[in-house]
Structure 1
């Protein structure tokens, strides 16, 4: 039997609980105004707070609800509606959450001050809820020892989790584990998380000619395969529904179509992921022409002799093997590692003879980046700026994400960031066999070797120097760069077409096939 008259009618715990409810209301108003769908659902959240005061005759239920609320607030702050996203939506005027990229807040303003206020309310809400749990548990005389122990254990666990997350949030530049906890899986906003080297543009900017009506769809429908059947779908509807963020169609030197979706614009920055790999390949070809590198058949140990000291078998791995993903190295993807140089020189392992088997492996471009850095005597991004970014007349500065502020080594397997139209220029450069406005920026023979179906020097007919191909298809001479989450730069020499599709996710499994058909219809 509960003896309520022995307890304070309105103790300190209830006072703090009223503060919690006030902060919660402010937090939900903030969520509504941000309009990005983050955090705890508005309706369900508000229903809980008055319920916490209604269970005066069952104080243990109120303690349990406070503990549950604390767990939900803590989880939401760490994984659903993070302080970075809360701040960004206000500071930039539009959502930075992956599920609502570019969605403007309801006030239509960009205010860093409101961003700070939003984060402050969210953090105070969690802290006040923790304090309320402590006080309410202490005030309930009739709460059995097991209940108090459970409440105390819940609080300790949540506080430890919060402390651990706080450590991780402050250690993302030095710890792989911290990045995995805070950043979780990769997504198209990674370029906002990693440090980066700037790749400066150089005036005058090159601008493609634009066909009349370039903002209209060049082909009304495209064939979309669903299982064994093919259906003609409206192109614009299909692009929007598949999470596409940018789509550009270039025929010859003219933009036939340019459109942006899901919160992105012409001047937005886009992450490339593995679309960066052909840029690395191009720089290797240029470095060969410049005399920085001797031959594509040079062993990697000529430039990275530490590898031979560790394992003599590295002496059989050539630059060509790294370019064609036939190096025989153990699979290694150090995406979140803060020191890629150390990983490449310390953790790589030879597991089979090079040249025998194609195996897509992200450590190969990392090693190529180390070779380029040492051979040219400068950061790879600086070499890119000098040899391609400036001469191509990129519209805006790009950036190349680095492993950390301390190491400052470019993520060679990913991490090149730019406007969509500037990525399309790279495709147009290859379409023109490395020539750009009368200058041969990439040796023509390197472009040919990089994009032809050839198994005389490597084992994979569908992959050459970091470009993909479609041998045996209806477009055997087409090739493309492909990045995680659905980034494509597709080149069709036979149709004189470059197509670019960037997106939040793939959302469709047959993009190369669809792009090949669209190239024929332009």
Structure 2
């Protein structure tokens, strides 16, 4: 299915901008800010009229820089100024261009990501000066505004954060000028003392010269400039993530049309709110859900985490719980056996909130396949997929070489690309008809079993096989064979517009349900005296198997492996009891350490800090190692 529309070109360019942001200027690194000397910012008591004209005396007194930088060297077509008062941050810019006639004039709604294809300037602020998170405020030559959080390296610039701020733009014969006013009260930071240290960065996207440049002027693209503010008023943010779910949901609903591919993409990237937008099918829970025990040891848990090398390398003065809130965590639970040692919720979420899954859903899919084999509905994981999906033979006879095991292992040899729009990411997440999208766009690029390639076509094909072999919807089979028997509460699974479960994502449940699922695997598939999942399947699905040379060497270099839609980390001396975990977009983890009988659940808006997906498992692994 091709979409030859203006939207196609804009989304394609947006992805290129994301790619550029990642490599040329918005990536934060945990300790980069410490390399710059501090500067004391200019404080003003005068009123600054935000009109884009830049005629106030303060802008003559506070030039910050006129030298920006990229990999090609210095850049002198932007001047930036910065000031503050007791309640606001102010930024001003003079942006020169080659031709003013080529500047964008189209007005867009606030936070419309299409403006990333224009000429724009950004003021970025790391409010805690710790490299965990920062916030970017962008304005383009047409006066459009966009803001977001910098959560490297998932999207770098993500849009769960949105704030109320003011900007104005004026065009002139050389280009355009910008003024910004950012209220401190609207930043996700608790200012509770007279003097505060933070860090800032300036970015200019010069579209006509195809350059994205930054200040501080250095080859270290992760460096922010340390600044000190004095005599500022105390602030009272709602939370430290900067995310207002109600506002962001209203914005996304106003943009999206669930009936078409392009319409579903208009709401932007996947988000934790998607379960409130997509259709869903109930997963009926147990009459009496499994009750988890409590023996709270919060100080012990926090102390061990704060002593991990990963936490220490953040070079931050904040404590572990503030780090969780800052890193856009929504739920964090630590259990030993079935007993909760630590449980806390952040950023507006609580024990009764619904937490949607992204790729953690894949680990549930693996479990359902194992149950279907146990039930005799699927003969074996060695079955060829064309036994159940014969129509694939019409596309390519080589589909007959692929087994269910290959799909589970992400080694099916199916092609997968993130490039262009719509890419395979859109086809497998946003399509209103996932079955048709898979059958139309799935294609072969390699022999099965040779190489590992993370690929969302695999779980969707498994879902189609489950439907055909069980004669039921995937959610109904999950409810009857897994959810109720593990003691889960009522839940749901998000659907496309044709009633097919999203498979690679979309399980919507309480945080305790993720813990119940983990405990089932920790206890080798058994709950309440009943073998819910065959013990042999738990072992086969979660522990490493022999793989050919070159299969996924880059994972092995990081002490990591991948098996049946589960990730794992090798633990010395534990041949059949290595740590394993389900992992999904936005930093969701169901982490299990059999050796220490530990389970860790982390859910969030975003991954939260560099280097994203594998940072949390590294911390969990070290925590489990040190836990006695």
TM-score (norm 2): 0.55
Answering whether residue 464 of structure 2 is matched by residue 370 of structure 1, we say yes
- For the aligned residue pairs, the C-alpha RMSD in angstroms reads 3.4
Q: Give the 5 Å matches for 1:190-339.
A: 190-211=274-295, 213=296, 218-220=301-303, 221-225=306-310, 234-331=319-416, 332-333=424-425, 334-339=428-433
Specify every segment of 5 or more residues in structure 2 that has no aligned partner in the other structure, as ranges: 1-46, 52-104, 116-158, 164-250, 417-423
Offset of residue 231 of structure 1:
7.9
Match of 2:536 in 1: 445
Match of 1:75 in 2: 109
Specify every segment of 5 or more residues in structure 1 that has no aligned partner in the other structure, as ranges: 1-43, 49-69, 81-96, 102-165
Match of 2:492 in 1: 399
Larger Cα-atom Rg:
1
Match of 1:468 in 2: 567
* SS of match in other structure, 1:236: helix
Match of 2:92 in 1: none
Offset of residue 99 of structure 1:
2.9
Offset of residue 230 of structure 1:
7.9
Mean CA deviation greater in 218-227 or 311-320 = 218-227
Q: Give the 5 Å matches for 1:346-495.
A: 346-394=440-488, 396-404=489-497, 407-456=498-547, 459-460=551-552, 462-471=561-570, 477-495=578-596
Out of 487, 491, 516, the residue aligned to residue 621 of structure 2 is: 516
C-alpha separation between the residues in 2 aligned to 1:257 and 1:192? 29
C-alpha separation between the residues in 1 aligned to 2:616 and 2:605? 14
Answering whether residue 193 of structure 2 is matched by residue 99 of structure 1, we say no
- How many residues were matched structurally? 377
Structure with a larger share of its residues in strand = 2
C-alpha separation between the residues in 2 aligned to 1:291 and 1:300? 16
C-alpha separation between the residues in 2 aligned to 1:324 and 1:489? 18
Offset of residue 389 of structure 1:
1.1
* SS of match in other structure, 1:248: strand
Offset of residue 344 of structure 1:
1.7
Q: Is the CA contact 2:327–2:606 (under 8 Å) kept in the aligned structure 1?
A: yes
Offset of residue 472 of structure 1:
6.8
Offset of residue 454 of structure 1:
1.4
Answering whether residue 589 of structure 2 is matched by residue 506 of structure 1, we say no
Offset of residue 47 of structure 1:
7.4
* SS of match in other structure, 1:281: helix
Output one character per residue of 1:121-165: Cα deviation in whole Å (capped at 9) or x when no partner. xxxxxxxxxxxxxxxxxxxxxxxxxxxxxxxxxxxxxxxxxxxxx
* SS of match in other structure, 2:519: helix
Q: Is the CA contact 1:287–1:376 (under 8 Å) kept in the aligned structure 2?
A: yes
Output one character per residue of 1:3-28: Cα deviation in whole Å (capped at 9) or x when no partner. xxxxxxxxxxxxxxxxxxxxxxxxxx
C-alpha separation between the residues in 2 aligned to 1:463 and 1:519? 20
TM-score (norm 1): 0.66
C-alpha separation between the residues in 1 aligned to 2:50 and 2:323? 39
Misfit runs of 4+, over 6 Å: 77-80, 226-233, 472-476
